[in-house]
Amino acid sequence: MSGFIEKVAGDLADKRRWREHRARVKTLPTAYRRAVEALERYLIYRVINGEAITGAVTKGDVLVDLYQELAEVFERAAADGTPIREVVGADPLRFADMLLSKYAAAGWSDKEWIDKEQHKEQQRLVGTIAQAEAEDGSTPS
């Protein structure tokens, strides 16, 4: 019976891992949580649109692995008091794309992402990271 359910609903272990990931992210301090959520949004948008263009991450289990690594990075940063900008660097787009490159199919990063919606997502990520940084009080002086 569980085989039938998994065929209809998908891999239940991946769904459990996803719920656990979401619970972990909710425990982060607000600024770190906002940064993670912004990165997740950018990464999923990059993956969804990247699939047709570049063959990026297309499997749910791989995406959950990617998000879990992202959560671990920000959990450590929050615990150590590392400012958000130190985590993502000066260019959050580069940080996200480098993280994604560990999980994506070879060659995806050589493609240009030229769609106006993509630009909007890039701007949204940069703006949200800046807001989270300011909210955290870790803006460099």
pLDDT digits (tens, 9 = 90+) for 80-127: 999 999 999 999 999 988 888 787 653 344 344 445 567 778 888 999
Higher pLDDT, 44 or 5: 44
What pLDDT was estimated at residue 139? Answer: 56
What pLDDT was estimated at residue 55? Answer: 39
Report domain extents, the chain: 11-136
Judged against a pLDDT cut of 70, whether residue 6 lies above it is answered with no
**CB neighbour burial string for 69-80, b if at least 16 within 10 angstroms, e if fewer:** ebbebbbebbee
Angstrom distance (rounded) from CA 98 to CA 92: 10
Average pLDDT over residues 27-34: 96
Angstrom distance (rounded) from CA 64 to CA 28: 18
